[in-house]
Amino acid sequence: MKFFLDTANIDEIKQGVGWGLVDGVTTNPSLVAKEGVDFHARIKEICVLVNGSVSAEVTATDYDGMIKEGHVLAKLHPNVTVKVPLIPDGIRACRTFSQEGIKVNVTLCFSSSQALLAAKAGATYISPFVGRLDDVSQDGIQLVKEIVQIYKNYNFTTQVLAASLRHPMHVVQSALAGAHVGTMPIGVLKMLFNHPLTDIGLKKFLADWEKTKEQIQKK
Ligand code: G3P
């Protein structure tokens, strides 16, 4: 499973990249707005830091506007994946981008029927929003499972990018469901490390080692 960071924050990306755990980045207009920086410059900056897909989202909602914006974004850096919303014009734009060899992430997916449309339009990634479905008492992980199964049934090459992951179990359950990618905030990535028995075990090992008066690096 690839790990993408869901952020437009440079410090967070540097931290994740430093751990060697970041295969890509997803941004969206809300995440960019939080940063209050020049959008194009920030996307380029992220692309230089990350050796993988960097999703940058169009904000036009009509086909012609999405195509124009998508071309601008795709030209920023070869790592850019153009993100389009799952609406009819977005699916049409997805088909055009995919025919032009531009990678596309179809976002705001909340049903298997929508995911089928994205795959048929040649999307590189489909982004089911797990947490936001859970928020409205629907099973987000069940949606990931269904999409993975449907894509397998027809050998679609579109990758399932589980998004809106809010906690470690969302990541684990997406992995169990066979999602190709999980995109998560840095806080969720950090939580994946946590286990109290690791901390307790390390403390005990170090205390016992101390008693030996040994050193691994001899002077
Ligand atoms: O990648 C989509 C993500 O940014 C949405 O997450 O937590 O706002 O639902 P959230």
Q: Which residues are marked as active site? A: 83
Give the distance (Å) from ligand 1 centre to CA of residue 181.
Answer: 14
pTM of the prediction?
A: 0.96
Backbone angles phi, psi at 203, to 5 degrees: -60, -45
Give the distance (Å) from ligand 1 centre to CA of residue 27.
Answer: 9
Mean pLDDT of the chain: 98
Give pLDDT, residue 102: 98
pLDDT band of 219, cuts 50, 70, 90? confident
Give the distance (Å) from ligand 1 centre to CA of residue 129.
Answer: 7
Ligand 1 atom closest to Cα of 163? 1
Take residue 91 and report the two structure tokens written for it.
């699916």
Per-residue pLDDT tens digits for 121-180: 999 999 999 999 999 999 999 999 999 999 999 999 999 999 999 999 999 999 999 999
Rounded Cα distance between 135 and 190, Å, is 22
Structure-token match 């906690």, residue found: 167
Cα radius of gyration rounded to whole Å, the chain? 20
- Structural domains of the chain, ranges and CATH numbers in brackets: 2-193 (3.20.20.70)
Structure-token match 């049903």, residue found: 111
C-alpha triplet 183, 193, 207: angle, nearest 5°:
170
| H, E, C per residue of the chain | CEEEEECCCHHHHHHHHHCCCCCEEECCHHHHHHHCCCHHHHHHHHHHHCCCEEEEECCCCCHHHHHHHHHHHHHHCCCEEEEEECCHHHHHHHHHHHHCCCCEEEEEECCHHHHHHHHHCCCCEEEEEHHHHHHCCCCHHHHHHHHHHHHHHCCCCCEEEEECCCCHHHHHHHHHHCCCEEEECHHHHHHCCCCHHHHHHHHHHHHHHHHHCCCCCCC
Residue nearest (by alpha carbon) to ligand 1 atom 4: 164
C-alpha triplet 149, 117, 185: angle, nearest 5°:
70
pLDDT band of 4, cuts 50, 70, 90? very high
Give pLDDT, residue 134: 98
**Ligand 1 site residues, Cβ closer than 6 angstroms:** 6, 26, 28, 129, 131-132, 163-164, 166, 183
pLDDT band of 218, cuts 50, 70, 90? confident
Q: Span 43-69, mean pLDDT?
A: 98
Cβ atoms 148, 177 nearer than 8 A? yes
